[in-house]
Amino acid sequence: MTIKYIDQIELDNKSVLIRVDYNVPYDSELNITDDTRIKATLPTIEHCLKNNAKIILVSHLGRPKGKRVPEMTLAPVAKRLGEILSKEVTFIADELGPDVKEQINSMNNGDIILLENIRYYSGETKNDEDLGKTLASFADVYINDAFATAHRAHSSNASVTNHVKECGAGFLLKNEIEYFNKAMGNPERPFGAIIGGAKVSSKLDALENILNKVDFIIIGGGMAFTFLKAQGYETGKSLLEEDLVDTAKTILSKAKEKGVEIYLPVDITTAKEFDNNSPKQTVSMESIPNDEMGLDIGAKSIKLFEDKVKAAKTIIWNGPMGAFEMSNFADGTNSIAETLAQSDCLSIVGGGDSVTAINQAGVADKVSYISTGGGAFLELLEGKTLPGFSALDK
């Protein structure tokens, strides 16, 4: 694809509509509890300010399903962005139409407007062409800087591009594209993938695709038990997708044919209940009790996986090694996070749980790149072309 980036576009005295991802968490009083996604858009906004542009920001928040839900207003975001920039950010709660158009037309260079939650309009998630045309009427230039929604074809990232003369990607989107291409396009080897999380079914297409790219795959988390069952191990009460055991066998067979090493846990930390306070023990794969479930990888598995990570030059990580949200079962995930942080490899972490794990381990600043999209990152791993990307390919 040929995608133009924001620094290749003339912005002076132009109205720039930027699709951002301000889907931030609120507490019960509508206070923002994590402004990471707001701060991630600052390079793009500041570039527009330096180039004398008028900035119109559009985002969603939550799933209001085409209705005005007061708890999902973006008003607090406008306030927080203004505080971060030390600059007024005008929030427009009005229905999109002539009144909004008039306010945009009266903007001066350097002004910033944030529109109300775009998912208050039912046409947004249907990629409604008329809604896209309305958004386009506000701008001379369209910029997409919302990777987390790039796997959805919505009006604010797809149909809008049909009606704006010049379209491009912001710096956040540029980073996502360039880092992913570094890893999947021409990686420095050995190239490995760490794939975890609960279910094989959610990662099946990704596993199939990366088999053609990587030198090895580390599999942990609940999904590991389906592969262990495929190798003949008994898995007790552990999470298991019985209907995918044969599929797991096929993946293991394909990997062998392609010379891709697949590493599975060799020991498991188990407990009788999915409870942080449930007594735990670490057992070998051959010895998982029938009445217990695996909730983390054991010390020998951690050592095995760490050695592979240390030897790699490129690593992609998607999914935790266990029930890391419970402190007594977080050792595996935290250890992998710390090892990855200490490595000098190109390390790319994507997926909500993986990002949470990196932050929880306190090493977010030590990995090469943390992707801002969960579903979008996974679809890239699956080898899919994201609608938000293809819409920019003009």
Q: Using a pLDDT cut of 70, give the percent of the chain over it.
A: 100
Six-digit token string for 35: 């402004």
CB contact set of 98 (below 8 Å; sequence gap of 6+): none
What pLDDT score does 355 carry? 84
**Cα–Cα dist 92/103, whole Å:** 9
pTM: 0.88
> Contact 89/107 with Cβ under 8 angstroms?
no
Phi then psi for residue 57, to 5 deg, are -100, 135
Convert the pLDDT of each residue in 234-256 to its tens digit. 999 999 999 999 999 999 999 99
Question: Beta 261-263 vs 54-58: how paired, if at all?
Answer: unpaired
* 143-170: burial string, b at 16+ Cβ within 10 Å, e else: bbbbbbbbbbbbbbbbbbbebbebbbbb
For residue 360, name the pLDDT band (cuts at 50, 70, 90): confident
Report, as an integer, the average pLDDT of 31-53.
95
Question: Beta 166-169 vs 267-271: how paired, if at all?
Answer: unpaired
What pLDDT score does 375 carry? 86
Average pLDDT, the chain: 95
Convert the pLDDT of each residue in 253-303 to its tens digit. 999 999 999 999 999 999 999 999 999 999 999 999 999 999 999 999 999
- Per the DSSP assignment, residues forming a β-bridge with 291 are none
Report, as an integer, the average pLDDT of 139-144.
98
Convert the pLDDT of each residue in 169-180 to its tens digit. 999 999 999 998
| pLDDT score of 1 more than 80 | no
- Per the DSSP assignment, residues forming a β-bridge with 85 are none
| pLDDT score of 36 more than 90 | no
Phi then psi for residue 67, to 5 deg, are -120, 155
What pLDDT score does 299 carry? 98
For residue 351, name the pLDDT band (cuts at 50, 70, 90): confident
**Cα–Cα dist 255/258, whole Å:** 5
> Is the C-alpha dihedral spanning 327, 335, 214, 2 positive or negative?
positive
Annotate the chain with three-state secondary structure: CCECEHHHCCCCCCEEEEECCCCCCECCCCCECCCHHHHCCHHHHHHHHHCCCEEEEECCCCCCCCCCCHHHCCHHHHHHHHHHHCCCCEEECCCCCHHHHHHHHCCCCCCEEEECCHHHCCCCCCCCHHHHHHHHCCCCEEEECCHHHCCCCCCCCCHHHHCCCEEEECHHHHHHHHHHHHHHHCCCCCEEEEECCCCCCCCHHHHHHHCCCCCEEEECCCCHHHHHHHCCCCCCCCCCCHHHHHHHHHHHHHHHHHCCEEECCCEEEEECCCCCCCCEEEEEHHHCCCCCEEEEECHHHHHHHHHHHHHCCEEEEECCCCCCCCHHHCHHHHHHHHHHHHCCCEEEECCHHHHHHHHHCCCHHHCCEECCCCHHHHHHHCCCCCHHHHCCEC
CB contact set of 245 (below 8 Å; sequence gap of 6+): 226, 229, 230
**Cα–Cα dist 44/57, whole Å:** 11
User: Which candidate, 373, 361, 270, places its Cα nearest to that of 318?
Assistant: 373
Active site residue ranges: 37, 199, 352, 375
| pLDDT score of 139 more than 80 | yes
Query: What are the structural domains, with CATH classification, of the chain?
Result: 6-174 (3.40.50.1260), 187-381 (3.40.50.1260)
What pLDDT score does 364 carry? 87
For residue 186, name the pLDDT band (cuts at 50, 70, 90): confident
Report, as an integer, the average pLDDT of 373-378.
86
What pLDDT score does 159 carry? 98
Report, as an integer, the average pLDDT of 36-47.
95
User: Which candidate, 339, 384, 311, 5, places its Cα nearest to that of 170?
Assistant: 5
**Cα–Cα dist 55/14, whole Å:** 9
